[in-house]
């Protein structure tokens, strides 16, 4: 019994089996970020947790008033790997309606645990690996849903209307910073995968 809700183990296992089938299908059609596949495989190898969604981190350029506004926003560019100087300059040159923001997001995972004890153990591991902004987001009859967030994130305003706000000569510095933030998130992802492999969950 967890917070008045009894986790139905049969429902948990059914959800896990469905999630694993979907994971394999997503790998086959190329929906899963290659960087995160070893971690998800490790998670599914455990007895008390499984993954339902994940992102290894990404760099996105979006045309919107503010980076948190999604209504009427347009994605100009998206990549889960480091970007090149040519890609950055192309973002600078792309016509926009509002403002162009470059947003770097770290890894985020949603994992379902079988029990409160498994949830606590997973959170302790995740936080020790740099996923400080993690916690339980839902308690259901078929499992406890946790969100693991690395906290590596930044947004950079690069353009307003037709006016470029960054000197093109500074593009290499912007590029290095963007890629460094993305790489830090991926380092935390790899630390988490290594830590989970060593744990009996």
Is there a domain that residue 161 lies in? yes
Q: Is the pLDDT of residue 69 over 80?
A: yes
State the pLDDT at residue 4: 54
Residue 126, domain extent = 9-197
Residue 95 counted as domain residue: yes
Q: Which residue has the tokens 């060593």?
A: 198
Scanning the chain, the segments in alpha helix (DSSP H) are: 9-29, 37-44, 85-93, 116-128, 171-197
Residue 4 lies in a domain: no
- Is residue 179 situated within a structural domain? yes
In a domain, 3, yes or no: no
Number of domains, the chain: 1
Q: Is residue 2 part of a domain?
A: no
Burial class, 172, CB count within 10 angstroms (exposed 0-12 / middle 13-18 / buried 19+): exposed
**Closest by Cα among 155, 181, 182 to 55:** 182
Q: What is the CATH number of the domain that holds 121?
A: 3.30.1960.10
Structure tokens at 19: 């999630």
Contact 101, 116 (CB under 8 A): no
Distance, in Å, from the CA atom of 53 to the CA atom of 60, rounded to the nearest integer, reads 19
- pLDDT score for 34: 87
The C-alpha atoms of residue 12 and residue 26 are separated, in whole angstroms, by 21
For the cut 60, the answer to whether the pLDDT of residue 2 exceeds it is no
3-state helix, strand, coil in the chain (%, to 5): 40, 30, 30
Look up residue 30 and give its two tokens: 């190329």
Does residue 1 lie in a domain region?
A: no
| Measured distance CA(129)–CA(193) in Å, rounded | 9
pLDDT digits (tens, 9 = 90+) for 104-156: 999 999 999 999 999 999 999 999 999 999 999 999 999 999 999 998 999 99
pLDDT of 77-90, one tens digit each? 999 999 999 999 99
**Domain assignment of residue 121, yes or no:** yes
Burial of 115 (0-12, 13-18, 19+ CB in 10 A): middle
d(CA 179, CA 109): 21
pLDDT tens across 30-45, in order? 888 888 999 999 999 9
């Amino acid at each position: 019994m967890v917070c008045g809700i009894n986790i139905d183990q049969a429902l948990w296992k059914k959800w896990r089996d469905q999630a694993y089938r979907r994971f394999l299908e997503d790998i086959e059609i190329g929906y899963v970020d290659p960087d995160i596949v070893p971690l998800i495989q490790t998670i599914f190898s455990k007895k008390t947790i499984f993954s339902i969604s994940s992102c290894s981190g990404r760099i996105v350029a979006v045309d919107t008033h503010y980076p948190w506004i999604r209504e009427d926003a347009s994605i100009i560019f998206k990549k889960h790997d480091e970007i090149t100087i040519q890609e950055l300059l192309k973002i600078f040159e792309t016509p926009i309606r509002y403002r162009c923001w470059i947003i770097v997001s770290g890894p985020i995972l949603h994992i379902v645990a079988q029990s409160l004890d498994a949830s606590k153990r997973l959170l302790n591991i995740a936080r020790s690996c740099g996923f400080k902004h993690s916690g339980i987001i839902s308690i259901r009859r078929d499992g406890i849903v946790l969100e693991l967030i690395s906290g590596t994130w930044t947004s950079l305003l690069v353009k307003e209307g037709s006016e470029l706000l960054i000197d093109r000569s500074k593009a290499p510095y912007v590029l290095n910073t963007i890629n460094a933030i993305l790489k830090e998130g991926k380092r935390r992802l790899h630390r988490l995968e290594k830590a989970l492999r060593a744990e009996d969950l």
